Chain A
């Protein structure tokens, strides 16, 4: 199963992914519309990219009052029928990663759809902080698991 794997160590905070994403997905350069977000943490000189983890049991799906979030059967991507969205924003709160993103222009919530299997943010990432790869091969799988276990407790596996 291929996912965006994040190597935080490599991220230098250039924010290109955010602009590329918003340009691709919304025809705008608009960091707020980007499905991927870079969170700067100056204290440690870190930049933390966050993006939809395509949880196995997505809490956003449970919270959607219009039942428009679904797992794509073949790829297990978490996708949405955006046209049905009434903009209640419940999924935004359900998602711990802030990966359900409020689009103030269309008044709907969106999340990363991995560009159908060819994520553009990854294509433009200059540092290799974002890699699109099979998660079972991910170098920092252990770390992701450690992170995952904690979240797992509360609403079953967010992370594979």
Chain B
């Protein structure tokens, strides 16, 4: 059997490794648009900050691909897939598959505004991007978009000694992860790092000759030599769309719980798909490393005629700012719009948390200052545990002995 995997990212590689676990014979062919070996995008901000060397982000050597018997076709863009013929085209060559796994991932968006093509505009996605930024020697940088990647990148640049501005269009930073109060706390932490944070501002244009010199928002003008775009990603679904696979309303490839696309024998996983959210059951984008890997496992298993089901998306994002851990798990109030949500929150000097519950089911958790017990809460969110059930376990001697792992959550539930 031959499986073709399009994508050399977290999803593609996990799928390959997983298939290898199921079968030592199956032929695996992997395509990638770029030429580099598997790397971890999540480690890139650490490289930018100077904490780790660039080569540490690479997760595989070429020998590792050989060991796993993966035939690599790197620096080969797949131009076309024909599902009826079970065949794809890359360059002038045609390749046939028995199963196809699409793991084409996503791409940072650079909006088409004035000056966004000037020298000095960057994204953070590949090791090359980081090399380019470092080469550019930024001294005054604007990071556009205060999602987790924006925040991490801002922190990294600050650590390099840059003057850093962080611009967010919404009224708070990390708007999809945190609610107002915790977002404010984190913003203060960033400001203590000397990062200038502006929320509720939209970038309108960039000027400079020959490279970036100024950035305009709807409220101010910022002098800068570098602009980093972290204002969202676009799923790489053009291939899938053109092949006639269904694309969902959120822009991701539609898959069922077996990670199979609208055509049998074709699977998709990673940033390029949309899957039901574990809590709401509604379609959602995950855009996380862990989801990509888990989805890839499911896709690989089903592609090898084993049965495995994807549980659904549930995000976990951790930031460490000034050595203080912050975590957002599941949905925040924004994600729970339309649901009647109970908020349990508590704030003390170095510690803040809020727990969100809908119909008594734990839906989200945001915590600053400690990660203790977050694992237990995360597990509960995935399980759909209600506050009542959790408290019952905590207050029953036999249950707690059997499920000792609940204990760490007691701090938030009592």
**Chain A residues within CB distance 8 Å of chain B:** 8-9, 39, 41, 43-44, 46, 48-50, 62-63, 65-67, 84, 86-90, 92-98, 100, 102, 143-144, 146-147, 150-151, 153-156
A84, chain B: closest CB distance, angstroms: 7
Contact yes or no, A44 B400, CB < 8 A:
yes
Interface string of B379-414 (1 = CB under 8 A from A): 100110000000000010100111111011000000
Contacting residues of chain B (10-59) with chain A, CB-CB under 8 angstroms: 13, 40, 42-43, 46, 51-52, 56, 59
Name the B residues within 8 Å of A67 (CB-CB). Answer: 13, 40, 59
Contact yes or no, A155 B382, CB < 8 A:
yes
A67 to B9, CA, bound (A): 12
Is B368 an interface residue, CB under 8 A from the partner? no
Partner of B404, one of A50, A154, A155, A156: A50
Query: 28 A-B contacts, Cβ less than 8 Å apart?
Result: A41-B400, A48-B400, A62-B294, A62-B297, A65-B289, A84-B56, A86-B46, A86-B51, A86-B52, A86-B56, A88-B42, A88-B43, A89-B320, A90-B318, A92-B374, A93-B316, A93-B327, A93-B374, A96-B375, A98-B372, A98-B375, A98-B376, A98-B405, A100-B375, A102-B371, A151-B383, A154-B379, A154-B382
A58, chain B: closest CB distance, angstroms: 12
Is B254 an interface residue, CB under 8 A from the partner? no
Is B271 an interface residue, CB under 8 A from the partner? no
Is B293 an interface residue, CB under 8 A from the partner? yes
Contact yes or no, B311 A154, CB < 8 A:
yes
Partner of A92, one of B52, B375, B395: B375
B27, chain A: closest CB distance, angstroms: 23
Is B111 an interface residue, CB under 8 A from the partner? no
Partner of B402, one of A62, A87, A147, A153: A147
Query: Given A89-B325, A155-B311, A95–B375 Cβ distance below 8 Å?
Result: yes
Is B329 an interface residue, CB under 8 A from the partner? yes
A66 to B371, CA, bound (A): 20
A147 to B401, CA, bound (A): 9
Name the A residues within 8 Å of B320 (CB-CB). Answer: 87, 89
- Top 8 closest A-B pairs, CB basis? A65-B42, A96-B379, A48-B404, A147-B402, A154-B382, A63-B290, A44-B397, A96-B405
Interface string of B273-307 (1 = CB under 8 A from A): 00000000000000001100110010000000000
Interface size class of B (residues with CB under 8 A): 35 or more
Query: Given A89-B318, A89-B325, A154–B383 Cβ distance below 8 Å?
Result: yes
Name the B residues within 8 Å of A153 (CB-CB). Answer: 383
A126 to B316, CA, bound (A): 39
Contact yes or no, B375 A97, CB < 8 A:
yes
Contacting residues of chain B (349-376) with chain A, CB-CB under 8 angstroms: 371-376
A90 to B320, CA, bound (A): 11
Query: Given A48-B404, A86-B52, A86-B56, A62–B372 Cβ distance below 8 Å?
Result: no
Contact yes or no, A93 B404, CB < 8 A:
no
Interface of B: prevailing SS: helix
Query: Given A44-B397, A89-B320, A97–B405 Cβ distance below 8 Å?
Result: yes
Contact yes or no, B43 A66, CB < 8 A:
yes
Query: Given A90-B318, A151-B379, A66–B400 Cβ distance below 8 Å?
Result: no
**Chain B residues within CB distance 8 Å of chain A:** 13, 40, 42-43, 46, 51-52, 56, 59, 289-290, 293-294, 297, 308, 311, 316, 318, 320, 325, 327, 329, 371-376, 378-379, 382-383, 395, 397, 400-405, 407-408
Known: A9-B401, A39-B407. 4 other contacts (CB 8 A): A8-B401, A41-B400, A88-B43, A98-B408
Name the A residues within 8 Å of B52 (CB-CB). Answer: 86
Contact yes or no, B407 A41, CB < 8 A:
yes
Closest to B309 in A: A156
Contact yes or no, A86 B43, CB < 8 A:
yes
Closest to B378 in A: A93
Closest to B327 in A: A93
Name the A residues within 8 Å of B405 (CB-CB). Answer: 50, 96-98, 151
Closest to B402 in A: A147
Name the A residues within 8 Å of B293 (CB-CB). Answer: 62
Name the B residues within 8 Å of A50 (CB-CB). Answer: 404-405, 407
Name the B residues within 8 Å of A143 (CB-CB). Answer: 401-402
Name the B residues within 8 Å of A48 (CB-CB). Answer: 400-401, 404, 407
Contact yes or no, A62 B400, CB < 8 A:
no
Name the A residues within 8 Å of B376 (CB-CB). Answer: 96, 98
Closest to A90 in B: B318
A104, chain B: closest CB distance, angstroms: 9
Contact yes or no, B379 A90, CB < 8 A:
no
A90 to B325, CA, bound (A): 11
B231, chain A: closest CB distance, angstroms: 22
Name the A residues within 8 Å of B402 (CB-CB). Answer: 143-144, 146-147
